[in-house]
Amino acid sequence: MKIVTITMASALLMLSAGVLAEVRLASPFADGMVLQRDREVSVWGTADAGEKVRVMFAGNEVTATADEAGAWSVRLPKMAASKEGRILTAMSEETKIPQTISDVLVGEVWYCCGQSNTELPLVGDNPHFSDRQGRLVAQMTRKPFVRFAYAADYKFSGEPRKTAPYPIVWQAFTPENLTKGKSFSALGVYFALELYSALDIPIGIVGSYWGGTKIDPWTPRTGYENHPELQDVADWKFIPESEWNDSCKKGGVDRPHQQPSCLWNEMVAPWCPMTMRGFIWYQGCSNHRESERYCAKMHALYDGWAKEFENPDLKLYFVQLAPYEIPWWGLQLAQAKFAAEEPNAAMVTTVDVGNLADIHPNEKGTIGKRLAALALRHDYGFEDLVADAPTLRGICSEEGRLILSFNNAKRWYVYQPDWGVDYGFEIAGPDGEWKKAYLVNVNDGAKEKKPWQTNGRCEGRDLILAADGVEKPMKVRYLYNRPWFGTVYADSGLPLGPFEAEVKSDGR
């Protein structure tokens, strides 16, 4: 009897030791995931302090020792893309008890984040909050090597979470997964499908979004470190929801989930430092009243994500706000300014796909394709692809006309469904009075529409503007006034976005 008692005690001790020494992979590591190709891949998790951990995948073995807090991390060597579903194992060197995840692919990984226009699903119950072609696309999509995962629970936190407080399930792009329950972001679906079509390698995309949210909740605290102009945001002291009342509102923070960094802490932080190519972003409506600070806030967002994901080359491709009943002019210019300043970022223009009656235009396929084009051009070697929207390169005033030259445009055309000639340009002379301008080199300079004749043909590489009553034009602006829709396209098929410019004192 005594021997049995000792044996049971020993067994319990051994079992307890095994539990304590259990190695766990971090939240993102789940069956069916996609790892980033051609880069050292971060794998991390927890174990007992001092525990030696071995990680094995695709013939590679790397080891680490858990620190005093029980955290460990390794980097798998660079791997080529692979559609072979393989097993990733993390194991204690002492107990040899493995944790495994299966059907792991290697390809390209992206993060999809923002507010409601990012959140708008491929398929949804609300016809005004669902992609126009989504139901058809979902039925036709059978792409087992394209995977998505939700990273959202619509909650917030005052401190960065190390473990996701929501379940992480990687799912394939199939009719069942894209139509059941809450469908994935339409923007993200189209982006991923275009990448897969062009690259023919596994694609993984992660989605975090919450309608109506500002940029500040998505920005890590570390993003503000080099932005003293945003010190008031960086110094914000988090207020728990249970203590929130109207007296807490300050600066643009009007609700508890709009507090700086709180959505990052809850939904995105558990994914750090996952190795990925970059993130796509569609947000700005909720910040339109502070356009003068939005460029700086975009820099803080990017800087924080790049630092927390331990990727100084992290890419950010984002969407400029589309036309709506509210004028976005200042915010749109701030977005364009950021795109011009950050080498790892680029912007999609959407002036041709807005809806003045609905802040959620449902033409997400066009936007997803344009985002994918940026990635293909800048990250995947499609050097002959013109993926960036035209941007103003030079301006000069000659003989009563403004001559505008642009980057990313060799020729132009105009498309207006009603054959119109109201292009959205205005010019001003020394008196500063703005006048509606016409395009001298489009439709032979026609000032009135003529169906079947004013078809939008443009002569030459530049855009040439003139306006009645403006003898010496010095300034130009585009899409400042309602209805804010753009109809001027470069030969790439990408529309010209809002801008303003002034001729220098020498006339150029």
Phi, psi values for residue 73, rounded to 5°: -155, 150
Q: What is the CA radius of gyration of the chain?
A: 27
Domain range summary for the chain, segments of one domain joined by +: 106-379, 391-502
Structure tokens at 350: 């959407």
Q: What pTM was computed for the model?
A: 0.94
How many whole angstroms separate alpha carbon 30 and alpha carbon 163?
13
Kindly state the tokens that stand for 71. Answer: 């955290």
SS3 sequence, 270-329?
HHCCCCCCEEEEECCHHHHHHHHHHHHHHHHHHHHHHHHCCCCCCEEEEECCCCCCCCCH
Q: Name the residue among 405, 355, 394 with its Cα closest to residue 508.
A: 394
Q: Are 271 and 318 in contact (CB under 8 A)?
A: no
Q: What is the pLDDT along the chain (508 residues), one digit of tens a residue?
A: 344 444 444 444 444 444 455 899 999 999 999 999 999 999 999 999 999 999 999 999 999 999 999 999 999 999 999 999 999 999 999 989 999 999 999 999 999 999 999 999 999 999 999 999 999 999 999 999 999 999 999 999 999 999 999 999 999 999 999 998 778 999 999 999 999 999 999 999 999 999 999 999 999 999 999 999 999 999 999 999 999 999 999 988 999 999 999 999 999 999 999 999 999 999 999 999 999 999 999 999 999 999 999 999 999 999 999 999 999 999 999 999 999 999 999 999 999 999 999 999 999 999 999 999 999 999 999 999 999 999 999 999 999 999 999 999 999 999 999 999 999 999 999 999 999 999 999 999 999 999 999 999 999 999 999 999 999 999 999 999 999 999 999 999 999 999 999 998 655 5
Residue whose C-alpha is closest to residue 225's, from 346, 307, 331: 307
User: E-assigned strands of 165-277?
Assistant: 171-173, 203-209
For the segment(s) 106-379, the CATH number from 3.20.20.220, 3.20.20.300, 2.40.50.140, 3.40.50.1110 is 3.40.50.1110
Query: Do the Cβ atoms of 314 and 286 come closer than 8 Å?
Result: no
C-alpha–C-alpha distance, residues 166 and 172, integer Å: 19
